[in-house]
Each structure stands twice: as structure tokens, then as C-alpha cells.
Amino acid sequence: MRDWHLAGEETPRTVHAQISLSEREARDGAVIPLRAALPATCCACGGRGETWMERCESCNGCGDAFVSREIWVRTPPDVVDGARLRFTVTPPAAPTTQLDVTVAIRASGWRVPARVSRR
């Protein structure tokens, strides 16, 4: 097994999220916004994990916080229901994070009416 806890080496974090695609988006590929809680520096303690002499309560002493952010991801064509896509994101002032996205495909029955596009 590989030891991820070498000094100075940070384990990339994985954040899980889910997106739902219409059948057309799943077939053609799409750019979809998703909301995920990404790591950020705790703003209560500035990442130190403590305020004065006490452990920071906001982050439980670890100096990190999770901030909900909207991320736009591009899905490849021909994805299937339940597919998992991996993205790497680097939020501002936060470590690079692996985004593990599970795709759900909406049945055509409850698809939101498609916008009419005229050419």
C-alpha cells in the first residue's frame, strides 16, 4: 500500500456530487452547473485551527472549512445513468480537490420543457 501520509505530501481530497442530465444532454454532452461543498480555509480562525488559546469551533481545530460553490462541469457525450465522472478543481486559496460526480439521467417523462432553439 502506498503511504499517503508522507511529510509535506497532501492527500488530494475527494468531494462527491451528483448531477442530473436530460437524455439529450447525456447523449450529446453538456456543460452543467453543480453545487458542491469544497474545502476552503476556515475564515473564523484563518486556517490556524485555533482562536486565542482555544480550539476553533467552526472548523473543529483543523483549519479547514467547506464552502458551497457552484462549479460548471463539462460532461462527455454518451454518458450512462450512474456513470461517475472525475474532475479536478482548485478552489481559490484551497487545495486541489478531486470531484467525483455521479450522473443521474432524468427519464423523458419528467424532463423540463426544452428551450426552443431557432436557427
Q: Does 73 bind Zn ion (CB under 5 A)?
A: no
Give the residues across from 115 on adjacent strands. Answer: none
CA distance 103 to 79: 8
Give whole-number Cα distances, 74 to 29, 63, 83, 94, 98, in Å: 7, 31, 14, 22, 15
Stretch that binds Zn ion, among 49-57, 85-93, 95-103, 105-113 (CB under 5 A): 49-57
Stretch that binds Zn ion, among 24-32, 34-42, 71-79, 89-97 (CB under 5 A): 34-42
Check residue 63 and give left, alpha or beta (phi > 0: left; psi -120 to 50: alpha): left
Q: Which residue in 45, 71, 99, 105 binds Zn ion (CB under 5 A)?
A: 45
Least distance to Zn ion, CB of residue 62, Å = 8
Contact set with Zn ion (CB under 5 A): 42, 44-45, 56, 58-59
